[in-house]
Amino acid sequence: MKDPFVIVWTLLIFASIFWYGFLVFYVGNKAGKEILQMTKTLGESKEAEKKPPA
């Protein structure tokens, strides 16, 4: 394990496993909320288009 390349790859592999696990929860939670917001915005603009002009 003295080879610097081995040390770098080892760190990167374990960091990647951690990062993927973290993103699933972090981005998963935030992106889920963004989908709800996006559908709400799109739904509202669709409703606004349907209404006849006053």
Partner 1 sequence: MTLAPIDWIIIVVYLASCLGAGLWMRKFVRGVEDFAVAGRELNVNLGIASLAATELGLVTIMYTGQLGYEKGFAGAAIGVLMWAVIWIIGRTGFVIGPLRTAGVMTIPELFEKRFSARVRWLAGLFVVLGGLLNMGIFLRLGGEFLVYATGMPPGWLEWVMTGLLGLVLVYTALGGMLSVLVTDYLQFLLMGVGIVITSILVIMHLGWGNLIDGLNTAWAAGAASSGTPRAHPFNPFHSSSFGWGYLLWQFVFQIAAASTWQTQISRVLAAKDAATAKSMYRKTSFYYVGRFLLPGLWGAAAFVWFSQHGGLPEGLTTLTAMPQYLSIVLPIGLIGLVVAAMLAAEMSTDSGYMLTWATVIYNDLITPCLRKPLAPQSQLLLTRGLVLGIAVFLLFYGLWYQVPGNAWDYLAVTGNIYLASVFTLLVAGLYWPRANAVGAGAALVLGAIGPIVFLVLGKTYNIAPEIAGASSFALAAVGMVAGSLLTRPPVRAGADSPSPSLSSP
Quote the least distance from Cβ 14 to partner 1, whole Å: 9
**Contacting residue, 24, 48, 52, 53, with partner 1 by CB under 8 A:** 24
The answer to the question of residue 34 lying near partner 1 (CB under 8 A) is yes
Collapsing DSSP states into helix, strand and coil, what is residue 51?
A: coil
DSSP classification of residue 5: H
**Look-up: residue for tokens 């973290």?**
22
Total binding residues toward partner 1, as defined by CB under 8 A: 32
Q: Which residue is associated with the tokens 């799109």? A: 42
CB 1 within 8 A of CB 7: yes
Instruction: List contacts with partner 1 (CB under 8 A).
Output: 1, 3, 5-6, 9-10, 12-13, 15-17, 19-21, 23-24, 27-28, 30-32, 34-35, 37-39, 41-43, 45-46, 49
